[in-house]
Amino acid sequence: MTAKTLLITGASGFMGSHLLDLVWHDQANYRVKAFQGDITSRKDVVRNLRDVDTVINFAALTYLPPSWYSPEAYARVNYEGVLNFMQNHEMFLRFVQISTSHVYGNQPKLPIEITMPPLPDDPYAIAKFAAEQAVKVYSEKFGFKSLIVRPFNNFGPRQSRHFVVPSFCIQAIEKGKIVVKGNTQRELIYVKDTARILKALLDKGSTGLLQIAKGVVYSMFDLAKMVLTAAGKDPDASMVDLVPTERPFDIQTLLGSSKSLSDMLGTDFRGFMSMEQALKETVDFYRYGEYLPLKRESVAVAAPD
């Protein structure tokens, strides 16, 4: 079998780099290209698409709060960047769009099933859902294969310090105490599990729509205590400072269902790493230093995730 040429956008970002780690060493099945340039440039997109079988798109602006102040930038990268690929659909056979659970917004019923209609209620989620719809419509009209993936909140090594788990890890390591701003509830998926799942989907040639969720939710207060434990502390009430806060972009609870994942992968789905082990690996990453990339050709992305 001839190895498929896989183009990864956002390959040096958080989620993309973990998938790259897996497929880079599977040269029997994949020839890997990391996107060079800017996905908002149609010229760059065309240049990168030469001799490509499959595109997996991670490149995005992903930190939600600034989307309220710069919605044009989020629309340009997260939606119009995807349109650049859609307008050149004849250059690839398959497109995998990495979306987000935030497209669901505040749902009236939990857990969130894949069949529930999205209710995006911030500029970030609006742009991501628009990109989903573009992939779906172009795929149906022009006949290329597509897969849309909605991961629930990912965490792990290499994530930006703006996000909650890295912030908690750094506070636990440096101060032995964590400030929790708002006690929202989230699914938390270890990024290495997400990478394994995505590779299994690529290997299987899966198409359609699915969400990566395990049906378990954690409050930010409980997460803080778990991070302190992973950092070798013995947490008590004085080590977690819960500060009430109201922000227009907060979704109170994001709790998903693993049904679409198990339906699509079946016995190829091997389950999730324990939170204890995943948090320990994450704390160790932030304790012992920044990520040093594997020895690969240099990569560039439009916007790191």
16 alpha carbon, distance to own chain's centre: 8
CA distance to 7, 15, 16, 286, per residue, from 159 (Å): 21, 8, 11, 10
pLDDT recorded at residue 295:
37
The SS3 call for residue 96 is: strand
Domain-by-domain residue ranges, the chain?
4-158+189-215+255-272
The identity of residue 172, as a single letter, is A
Closest by CA to 133, choosing from 188, 79, 174, is: 79
pTM of the model: 0.92
List all residues 6 or more positions away from 78 whose beta carbon is below 8 Å from its beta carbon.
60, 61, 124, 127, 128, 130, 131
pLDDT recorded at residue 290:
54
pLDDT recorded at residue 3:
81
pLDDT recorded at residue 298:
33
pLDDT recorded at residue 186:
96
Residue 57's DSSP bridge partners are: 9, 97
**Residues of the chain below pLDDT 50:** 291-305
83 alpha carbon, distance to own chain's centre: 19
Closest by CA to 273, choosing from 196, 202, 173, is: 196
Pick the CATH number of 4-158+189-215+255-272 from 3.40.50.1360, 3.40.190.10, 3.40.50.720, 1.10.1040.10: 3.40.50.720
The SS3 call for residue 79 is: helix
